Structure 1
Amino acid sequence: MILLASKSPRRQELLRQIGIDYQVINTDIDESVLPNENPHDYVARMAHSKAIAAKLLLGNAQHPILTADTSVIKNDVILGKPEDYTDFCKMMAMLSGSTHQVLSAIAIQYLDQVIVKTSVSSVTFSQLPKTFIEAYWATHEPCDKAGGYAIQGLMARYIQKIEGSYSGIMGLPLFELSEALHEIGYNESSLTFS
């Protein structure tokens, strides 16, 4: 079993997809970007900091702790969750008809080690009609999503191309997660940790 320090239903769905049992735990950290911090360093630091915070909260956890952070990047600007409709519209204007990056970092804290891995993907949007942007905001789907959209949701109809990890764009890169699990002794045949 893994302790998942995330309330994201998408991350939970992805863990179920690959047959990993998990229990959700709550951690809160300051997610502010540091001055002059580049996006790659930011997502890795967030995943790592969440893992350390979870370990401090739980003490000597007997199970691996999994944390993750996902950011949408356009022109080296980190697009977080939209603060309001105006912020959302600015994000959509930046993303419409262009390619952006999605960085998704995972951290596994187990015993005395923390393993951090980052997935980098590119997503290309077609032009987004103003009517769609308005209707999409009204669904509330964009409100809690990095970059203001969910690749597996209504925005899918305007995604021309992706390069990289679909699960990473959703918020939990499964290839990188599998690599990290093997590094800490995950036995795939018995679905247990050695």
Structure 2
Amino acid sequence: MRIPPTLSLILASKSPRRSQLLEQAGIPFTIRTAETEEVYPPDTPVAEVAPYLARLKARGAAHLLQSDHEVLLTADSVVIVDDEIFGKPRDRAHAIATIGRLSGRTHTVITGCCLKSFTHEEVFCGVAQVQMNRIEPAEIEWYVDTYRPYDKAGAYAIQEWIGLAKIARIEGTYPTVMGLPVDLVYERLVTVAGQSVVGKS
């Protein structure tokens, strides 16, 4: 995937966490968003769902590209336990039940990404194993009522109380669990641009 070195990254996501990660990494970007229905074929292997949805979002937002110098970035995260995907909870009861399933166990977080220009697209993903300590039922209810994690895959955010107080181990990168494997994104942007993409205004 090659475009001119005057690369402009377009983040097609409303997620404040993904914006925060790019900002912290010093990667300049502009936000443009489009609505895409996040559906996938029911027979899709669970490990392929996140990259599938990232590609789906990129194709649904392709009209946001305005020049040959722009590259669109989309992402999607899923939490997996027992070969079952746990996405964003529907409501309070679902959030409580989801965290209850994760409590005291190790789960997989996969964040799929897609970089798309006018002529090319590249799909990749970050994978992390997250070992969660046991969370008491009263703690789960407190967390859900306090943090209202209804826009979070797996009904929790690694940067909030659960991540700080109840995660024993992460095998993989913290940003992958947070919603964007910045190391992989940066690596591919450097390849695309042919030079460092930080320190630009």
Residue 59 of structure 2 aligns with which residue? 52
Deviations, residues 39-74 of structure 1 (Å, cap 9, x unaligned): 222111111111111113446564111111110111
Residue 88 of structure 1 aligns with which residue? 95
Distance 1:80 1:160 in 2: 22
Give the partner amino acid of 1:7: K
Residue 68 of structure 1 aligns with which residue? 75
2:188 to 169, 173, 180: 180
Counterparts in 2 of 1:25 and 1:150: CA distance versus 1, 3 Å: same
Distance 1:190 1:172 in 2: 17
CA contact 1:110–1:184 (8 Å) conserved in 2? no
Counterparts in 2 of 1:171 and 1:90: CA distance versus 1, 3 Å: same
Residue 129 of structure 1 aligns with which residue? 136
5+ long unaligned stretches in structure 2: 1-7
- Structure 1 length as normaliser, TM-score? 0.92
Aligned pair 1:19/2:26, yes or no?
yes
Distance 1:141 1:161 in 2: 24
CA contact 2:26–2:198 (8 Å) conserved in 1? no
Give the partner amino acid of 1:54: A
Counterparts in 2 of 1:93 and 1:188: CA distance versus 1, 3 Å: same
CA RMSD of aligned residues (A): 1.7
SS in 1 for 2:180: coil
Counterparts in 2 of 1:138 and 1:187: CA distance versus 1, 3 Å: same
Aligned pair 1:102/2:116, yes or no?
no
CA contact 2:110–2:128 (8 Å) conserved in 1? yes
CA contact 1:123–1:159 (8 Å) conserved in 2? yes
Distance 1:106 1:91 in 2: 24
How far apart are 1:182 and its partner, in Å?
A: 2.4
Q: How does 1:95-174 map to 2 (within 5 A)?
A: 95-156=102-163, 157-174=165-182
**Segment of structure 1 superposing worse, 114-123 or 134-143:** 134-143
Find runs of 4+ consecutive structure 1 residues off by over 6 angstroms.
none
**Segment of structure 1 superposing worse, 52-61 or 9-18:** 52-61
Amino-acid identity (%) = 34
How far apart are 1:101 and its partner, in Å?
A: 0.1
CA contact 1:33–1:42 (8 Å) conserved in 2? yes
SS in 2 for 1:142: coil
Give the partner amino acid of 2:145: A
How far apart are 1:191 and its partner, in Å?
A: 5.0
Counterparts in 2 of 1:61 and 1:139: CA distance versus 1, 3 Å: farther
Counterparts in 2 of 1:186 and 1:80: CA distance versus 1, 3 Å: farther
Residue 35 of structure 1 aligns with which residue? 42
Q: How many residues align?
A: 192
Distance 1:61 1:143 in 2: 37
Distance 1:57 1:16 in 2: 21
